Amino acid sequence: MAASLGFRGAASGLRYWSGRRRPVGSLAAVCSRSMASKTPVGFIGLGNMGNPMAKNLIKHGYPLILYDVFPDVCKEFKEAGEQVASSPADVAEKADRIITMLPSSMNSIEVYSGANGILKKVKKGSLLIDSSTIDPSVSKELAKEVEKMGAVFMDAPVSGGAARSGNLTFMVGGVENEFAAAQELLGCMGSNVLYCGAVGSGQSAKICNNMLLAISMIGTAEAMNLGIRSGLDPKLLAKILNMSSGRCWSSDTYNPVPGVMDGVPSSNNYQGGFGTTLMAKDLGLAQDSATSTKTPILLGSVAHQIYRMMCSKGYSKKDFSSVFQYLREEETF
């Protein structure tokens, strides 16, 4: 499928009306609209991020039509009265606004352009929002295919790590006069919805963010490991870092050392959160982007190699902050 569509690098309540819509006010006003204005929204991909995102749409009064390749994850939604579709095409037949949240470029290609994909049944004027983190070139090619069907595609990858509480940041790429329609939905799942430019620009912003996140997490893990091996108490060291110039999100919000913070993966055997495999994938996207733009990313390249090594040594399903544990156990550096 990737080859036939010309994808490069794919392997590595307000109803939406055809580009013309009412002005949208504040996100709070949008999310408090009457139920009558909230027509069903399609949602495809109910993984660690997609599941709480879908639940936040429900909390804001949006009925959903759901699909996931693993039917069991749809069970709780079905029991709560939401519709479960048999395929992405089935979702597209029943909803004219669809959000997808998928693991990779290949998954997005399959969901949109596969034998039972969205484009088989998409209705003219539909709004398709892909919140997956994928190659920007794939987003651009999908947008072209969607446009041929008379619909609109926008990329809107997320960051923030707080999907459950609705505090995500969405980075949106697409035609600017379609942004208000996307913002209506995305604002009910995130506290920040930012327009970045043309299709693919949201992906570019997300890739840059995650590359920096990976680098800062490795740096935090190295600093904490060095301090602990030098005899410092980890909680004291974290406190000092967070009162000093070394402070960053990886140290003060998502500390990688078990026992330093409650409610983060490091204090739950690195379960949940953002998987090491996904971080390695995003760093691969950064590497591809750097190659195509002839941009040096020295630390980004090293971070990519570290997370790839972690995946090969049993860390693939652990949260990416498990790089601390990896550094503690490895004696080969």
List residues forming the annotated binding site for NAD(+): 39-67, 102-103, 107, 133, 281
* Cα end-to-end distance, the chain, whole Å: 41
In terms of Cβ atoms closer than 10 Å to its own Cβ (0-12, 13-18, 19+), residue 40 is middle
| Continuous segment of H or E residues that includes residue 52 | helix 50-59
What residues are designated binding site?
Answer: 39-67, 102-103, 107, 133, 281
In terms of Cβ atoms closer than 10 Å to its own Cβ (0-12, 13-18, 19+), residue 35 is exposed
Of residues 206, 235, 239, 318, which has the active-site annotation?
A: 206
DSSP of 174-216, one letter per residue?
Answer: S-GGGHHHHHHHHTTTEEEEEEEESTTHHHHHHHHHHHHHHHH
For residues 230 and 147, give the distance between their C-alpha atoms in angstroms, rounded to a whole number: 59
**Any catalytic annotation for residue 75?**
no
From residue 249, alpha-carbon distances to 126, 203, 215, 246, 297 in Å are: 37, 21, 11, 10, 21
| Burial readout 98-112 (b: 16 or more C-beta within 10 A, e: otherwise) | bbbbbbbbbbbbbbb
Identify whether the C-beta of residue 193 lies closer than 8 Å to the C-beta of residue 187: yes
Task: Give me 36's structure tokens.
Answer: 């009558």
Catalytic residues: 206
